[in-house]
């Protein structure tokens, strides 16, 4: 390790340290120009400035023990209470602040597993049913917790979970059903009411993953958007996850896991008194728990209020309608499903979707190419928020210019795909760094023309994709 990274003697020049830190971040994705249509959820500078100050004010707090930091209890109760009301939860509902959607999801699966251990102890190989559009964090939870994830099909037109597939794959070991409100990729709501009825019929838990939409959809309903039922008003819904750090426009990382009653939340908790230190009771995976995201989220809710959120959501929805309508007028592309919020997936009607993504990148837009899986074809994902909403017209103009004369969609050359499949299986001792350099990936940064890489990975099996991406990530942090 060089002295520059960890010097023998510390520096008193704070400005120089901050300048070096800024230099490290100069290639990071930025919301400033409004051209980013993935990863960023921005409500504007005024909200961001308050959030930064509030975040700093909470940095010294620790939610590990709310008897030592009473503000942890007060902040969490306020944020959970606001969320439960927003989701029309029953009086007996409770909730927990987590570090993000992934932690909320993992805890929802732990709840189902431990609740089943108590009420259905005969199940030794529990499984849960997930639409193939459900967020990957559910499969991560399955991997960590020993619950088998069984994927159910989605309708290729609506992109909603197929209830026929759900019923066909449900068995005596099923402990949890999962639906999205909406799914990240396509922005569509699964048939939650039907899932709730099935959950009640079979005495199962039903988790609604509303991490990305749970804060938005109630406001959309208030401004007149026609939405199917998705929240705790649906009998059978036993838990929901909602991220505030997405369309709640608060800093990372904060999510809420809402449970219909305390018995369910008890199954989420972990406690330990069989060691020589202090007895532990953790509602989340974390032990020490920064209060900074909570203080920032609390401040943002105070700053915007319900009327402020309605205004931002209305602006976003208007831009979403504009984008969907505009895509419908461009020959050669189409929207997948019927998005109910600012999450839109488009695909081509024969042309190379990855080449289309490259053309948009060359025009200055940041978008998210996505590979084919199940009944979802390869597509480009767009996240629309209040900050980039004003750029939708310009995006549509560039999209219309970029769509003509796309090369035909084609599988990557078979010998190359076969080689990558072999590398993924551990054959040949391939130099990962050299492979990345061959693809034009340097210092963890993708080349300007990414279509060849995306075509290769799209042509590989999902298992090979996972292993190759593991190799690449490991190389980036070597």
Q: Residue 127 pairs with which residues in a beta bridge?
A: 148, 174
404 CB-contact burial (10 Å; exposed 0-12 / middle 13-18 / buried 19+): exposed
CATH of the domain at 87: 3.40.640.10
Residues 124 and 254 in one domain: yes
Residues 430 and 288 in one domain: no
Domain membership of residue 451 as a residue range: 414-476
Residues 423 and 286 in one domain: no
Count of domains observed in the chain: 2
Residue 263 resides in a domain: yes
User: How is residue 333 written in tokens?
Assistant: 């592309």
Give the number of other Cβ atoms within 10 Å of residue 266's Cβ. 16
Residue 439 resides in a domain: yes
Choosing from 298, 332, 356, the residue where a domain stops is 298
User: How is residue 397 written in tokens?
Assistant: 């103009």
- Please, which residues have CB within 8 angstroms of residue 319's CB and are 6 or more apart in sequence? 342, 384, 388, 389, 390, 392
- Please, which residues have CB within 8 angstroms of residue 80's CB and are 6 or more apart in sequence? 94, 95, 96, 97, 256, 258
Q: Residue 281 pairs with which residues in a beta bridge?
A: 271
How confident is the model at residue 1, as a pLDDT?
41
Choosing from 248, 282, 298, the residue where a domain stops is 298
- Taking only the tens place, the pLDDT of each residue in 394-406 is 999 999 999 999 9
Nearest to 342 by CA among 40, 102, 82: 40
Measured distance CA(110)–CA(98) in Å, rounded: 14
- Taking only the tens place, the pLDDT of each residue in 402-421 is 999 999 987 778 888 887 88
Residue 13 resides in a domain: no
Q: What does pTM read for this prediction?
A: 0.94
Residue 317 resides in a domain: no
Residues 292 and 418 in one domain: no
Contact 38, 357 (CB under 8 A): no
| Pairs from 111-115 (Cβ < 8 Å, separation ≥ 24) | 111/205, 111/239, 111/259, 111/264, 111/265, 111/267, 111/268, 112/147, 112/175, 112/176, 112/205, 112/207, 112/267, 113/145, 113/146, 113/147, 113/175, 114/267, 114/268, 115/175, 115/205, 115/263, 115/264, 115/267
Residue 445 resides in a domain: yes
Measured distance CA(298)–CA(250) in Å, rounded: 9
Choosing from 266, 298, 330, the residue where a domain stops is 298
**Which parts of the chain register pLDDT below 50?**
1-2
Residue 279 resides in a domain: yes
64: phi then psi, degrees, rounded to nearest 5 = -60, -40
Nearest to 312 by CA among 387, 245, 240, 243: 387
Residues 289 and 423 in one domain: no
Residue 182 resides in a domain: yes
Contact 374, 151 (CB under 8 A): yes
Residue 71 resides in a domain: yes
């Amino acid at each position: 390790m060089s002295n520059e990274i960890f010097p023998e003697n510390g520096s008193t020049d704070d400005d120089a340290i901050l300048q070096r830190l800024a230099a490290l971040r100069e290639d990071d994705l930025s919301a400033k120009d409004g051209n980013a249509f993935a990863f960023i959820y921005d409500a504007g500078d005024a909200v961001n400035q308050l959030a930064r100050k509030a975040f700093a004010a909470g940095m010294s707090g620790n939610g590990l023990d709310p008897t030592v930091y009473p503000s942890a209890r007060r902040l969490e109760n306020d944020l959970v209470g606001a969320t439960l009301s927003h989701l029309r939860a029953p009086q007996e509902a409770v909730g927990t602040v987590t570090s993000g959607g992934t932690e909320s999801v993992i805890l929802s699966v732990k709840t189902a597993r431990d609740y089943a251990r108590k009420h259905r102890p005969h199940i030794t190989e529990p499984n849960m049913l997930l639409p193939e559009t459900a967020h990957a964090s559910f499969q991560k939870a399955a991997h960590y917790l020993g619950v088998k994830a069984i994927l159910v099909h989605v309708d290729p037109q609506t992109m909603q979970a197929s209830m026929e597939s759900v019923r066909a794959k449900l068995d005596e070991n099923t402990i949890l059903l999962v639906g999205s409100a909406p799914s990240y990729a396509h922005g569509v709501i699964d048939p939650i009411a039907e899932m709730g009825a099935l959950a009640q019929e079979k005495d199962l838990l039903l988790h609604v993953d509303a991490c990305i939409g749970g804060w938005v959809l109630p406001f959309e309903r208030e401004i007149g958007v026609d939405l199917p039922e998705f929240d705790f008003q649906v009998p059978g819904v036993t838990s929901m996850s909602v991220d505030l750090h997405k369309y709640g426009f608060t800093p990372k990382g904060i999510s809420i896991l809402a449970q219909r009653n305390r018995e369910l939340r008890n199954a989420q908790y972990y406690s330990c008194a069989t060691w020589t230190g202090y007895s532990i009771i953790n509602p989340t995976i974390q032990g020490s728990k920064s209060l900074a995201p909570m203080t920032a989220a609390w401040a943002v809710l105070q700053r915007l209020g319900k009327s402020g959120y309605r205004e931002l959501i209305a602006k976003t929805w208007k831009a979403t309608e504009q984008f969907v309508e505009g895509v419908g007028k461009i020959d050669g592309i189409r929207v997948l499903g019927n998005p109910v919020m600012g999450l839109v997936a488009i695909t081509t009607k024969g042309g190379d979707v990855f080449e289309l993504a490259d053309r948009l990148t060359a025009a200055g837009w940041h978008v998210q190419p996505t590979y084919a899986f199940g009944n979802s074809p390869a597509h480009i994902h767009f996240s629309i928020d209040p900050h980039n909403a004003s750029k939708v017209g310009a995006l549509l103009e560039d999209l219309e210019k970029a769509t003509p004369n796309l090369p035909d969609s084609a599988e990557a050359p078979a010998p190359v795909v076969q080689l990558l499949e072999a590398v993924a299986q551990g054959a040949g001792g391939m130099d990962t760094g050299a492979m990345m350099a061959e693809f034009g990936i340097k210092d963890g940064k993708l080349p300007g023309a990414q279509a060849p890489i995306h075509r290769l990975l799209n042509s590989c099996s999902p298992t090979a994709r996972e292993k190759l991406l593991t190799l690449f990530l490991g190389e980036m942090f070597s």
